[in-house]
Structure 1
Amino acid sequence: MRYVMILTGDESNWQEPKMPEGLMEEVGAWWTKWFEAGKIVEGGAELQPTSTAKTVGPGRDGRAEVTDGPYLELKEVVGGFIMLEADDIDEAVAVAAGWPGIAAVGDKVEVRPILER
């Protein structure tokens, strides 16, 4: 089954100078380990800061309206995602539990099955 690992946290922790030294090397090692094990599929993406976002929603006239920034102003935001292949959710959670950002900066990781239609 395929799963998505949704990386969330305080985006200020992902910017210099708050990012702990060596964290990106740990992330690279984690990525290599699970990619070579066949658990990371279709890659993933690190997102730019929420300040670069645009939100599209319904306007007063029923047409789409575009606003700057994220829809909600939250301290914890989505910072990226990784696509996983695992036998079951427990295996996907075991992969996610080793994400270096959890211990280093307090990231949280949501693991959710992909809906296959």
Structure 2
Amino acid sequence: MRYVMILTGDEAPWFDEQTSQGLMEEIITWWGKWSEAGKVEEGGAELAPSTQAKTVGRGPGGEPVVTDGPFLELKEVVGGFIYLNADDIDDAVAVASTWPGIAAVGDRVEVRPVMER
């Protein structure tokens, strides 16, 4: 079954050169381990900083309105997502719980089944 790991957290450490360099090495190792095990699919995405985002919402007359940055003023933002292949939700959570960003910078990882229609 397919699942998505949604990576969230404070994005500041991701763009701190000293923190991100060591963390990226751990992520490359993590990716290799779970790819070889058949648990990680190609695809997914690391997202640019939220300061580069645009948000499209509904204006007062129903027309689209575009604003700079993320819509919500939160410290935690979505930083990326990874597709998983797992036997069940518990298997997917077991893989997600080894994400290096959890221990290194306090990332939170949401695991959600992919809708197959």
TM-score computed with the length of structure 2 as normaliser: 0.95
Distance 1:8 1:18 in 2: 20
RMSD (Å), alpha carbons: 1.2
Q: Is the 8 A contact 1:30 1:100 kept in 2?
A: yes
TM-score computed with the length of structure 1 as normaliser: 0.95
Q: Equivalent residues in 2 for 1:47-58 (5 A)? A: 47-58=47-58
Whichever structure has more strand as a proportion of its residues is: 1
1:5-49 alpha-carbon deviations (Å, 9 max, x no partner): 000010001112462552111100000111111111142100000
More moved, 63-72 vs 38-47: 38-47
Please state whether the residue corresponding to 1:92 is helix, strand or coil. Answer: helix
More moved, 15-24 vs 43-52: 15-24
Distance 2:21 2:61 in 1: 50
Runs of 4+ that moved beyond 3 A:
none
Q: Is the 8 A contact 1:55 1:71 kept in 2?
A: yes
Partner of 1:66: 66
Distance 1:36 1:60 in 2: 51
Distance 1:72 1:98 in 2: 28
Question: Can you give the 5+ residue segments of structure 1 that lack an aligned partner in the other structure?
Answer: none
Partner of 2:81: 81
Q: How many residues align?
A: 117
1:50-94 alpha-carbon deviations (Å, 9 max, x no partner): 000000010112111111110101001100000001000000000
